[in-house]
């Protein structure tokens, strides 16, 4: 599994199991991304916990110290029948790894929504609660290929 946060061109942050899509003719060229179990992710605003006096003036500056952030997950493309969504490369600004705690919360959510399976195991997959199969379109180490 390759859980990443994808920053979209429109500013959305989407956490998902991310796969590269290639063609059979040019397997080294990525043509799109497949997002499996995508969720919008955001850190909810918190009250500042720390005030620091500015060196150049007597003004105080608010600094947000996020020691225990509250993270909110909402379904991305909630009306999609299948939880495996193809996305054009042009829509992605960047994809990055996140903290292990965030990945753990994401995996717990995916397991709860899918009845205990996160879709990482293709053997014995069962239909998910969203109408699609829990099995990913490809193995973890193999990219998705289009024809």
Q: Name, in order, each residue with C-beta under 8 angstroms of 91's C-beta and a sequence gap of 6 or more.
A: 8, 9, 10
Dump pLDDT digits (tens) for 29-40: 999 999 999 999
Vertex 54: Cα angle to 61 and 42 (nearest 5): 25
Distance of CA 75 to the CA centre of its chain: 10
Cβ atoms 60, 54 nearer than 8 A: yes
Domains in the chain with CATH codes: 3-43+70-146 (2.30.30.100)
> How far is residue 38's CA from residue 82's CA, in Å, rounded to a whole number?
11
User: Is the model's pLDDT at 147 over the cut of 60?
Assistant: no
| Full-model pTM | 0.67
Max intra-chain CA distance, the chain: 65
Instruction: Look at residue 89 and give its three-state secondary structure.
Output: helix
Dump pLDDT digits (tens) for 118-136: 444 433 333 333 434 444 4
Dump pLDDT digits (tens) for 62-117: 565 666 778 999 999 999 999 999 999 999 999 999 999 999 999 999 999 988 75
Both tokens of 55, joined, read 């060196």
């Amino acid at each position: 599994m390759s859980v990443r946060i994808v920053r979209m061109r429109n500013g959305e942050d989407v956490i998902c199991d991310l796969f590269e899509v290639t063609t059979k003719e040019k397997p080294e060229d990525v043509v799109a991304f497949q997002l499996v179990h995508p969720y919008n992710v955001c850190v909810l605003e918190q009250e500042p916990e720390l005030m620091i006096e500015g060196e150049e003036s007597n003004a105080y500056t608010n600094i947000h110290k996020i020691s225990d952030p509250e993270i909110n997950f909402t379904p991305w493309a909630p009306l999609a029948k299948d939880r495996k969504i193809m996305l054009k490369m042009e829509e992605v600004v960047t994809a990055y790894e996140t903290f292990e705690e965030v990945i753990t919360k994401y995996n717990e959510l995916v397991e709860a929504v899918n009845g205990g399976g996160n879709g990482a195991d293709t053997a014995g997959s069962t239909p998910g609660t969203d109408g699609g199969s829990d099995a990913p379109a490809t193995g973890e180490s193999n990219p998705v290929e289009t024809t």
